[in-house]
Amino acid sequence: MQTDLQKIVSISGQPGLYKYLSQVRHGIIVESIKDGKRTCISASTKISSLAEITIYTNNGNDLLLKEILLKIKDNTDGEQAISHKSPTDELMAYFEKVVPEYNKEKVYPHHVKKMIEWYNILQENQLLDFAEEEEENTEAAEDEDTSATE
């Protein structure tokens, strides 16, 4: 089954990653990817979908987190990456090897630490097979064409 990064979220002030389950009156219900515990998160809490996260590059084009995760996956042959608890200089050297085009002035060590931690969480839970957005958009367009001809 493919992973939809739109439904994988990071919650400000909470460690780890969560699967979005549903919306309720005053927030959303999420499930921890690590332990499967469900919780209600307030609507006032900052929540970021992994599909919307980007990093700065030297060429001015932002790089999607999905692309970075795939680069790490290629670099590790689908295995765990370096630990996010490694010394900062090791993390930065590793990240520069994997994503050489990142902007060193705007991407800070704590950003790199989070991305590597997220990669390892997704890898551990076999969630690195991402749904292709183009395929979904193409299928939706085909469905519209089919309904228009009926």
Same structural domain for residues 66 and 98? yes
Residue 150 resides in a domain: no
| Distance of alpha carbon 86 from alpha carbon 37, whole angstroms | 27
Model confidence at 143: pLDDT above 80:
no
Across 1-5, 54-58, 68-72, least confident range: 1-5
Residue 33 resides in a domain: yes
> Six-digit token pair at 132?
């292709």
The pLDDT of residue 90: 96
Contact 104, 55 (CB under 8 A): no
Q: What is the pTM of this model?
A: 0.82
The CATH number of whichever domain residue 104 belongs to comes to 1.10.10.1650
In tens, the pLDDT along 64-106 reads 999 999 999 999 998 999 999 999 999 999 999 999 999 999 9
Structure-token match 């395929």, residue found: 135
Model confidence at 4: pLDDT above 90:
no
* Count of structural domains, the chain: 2
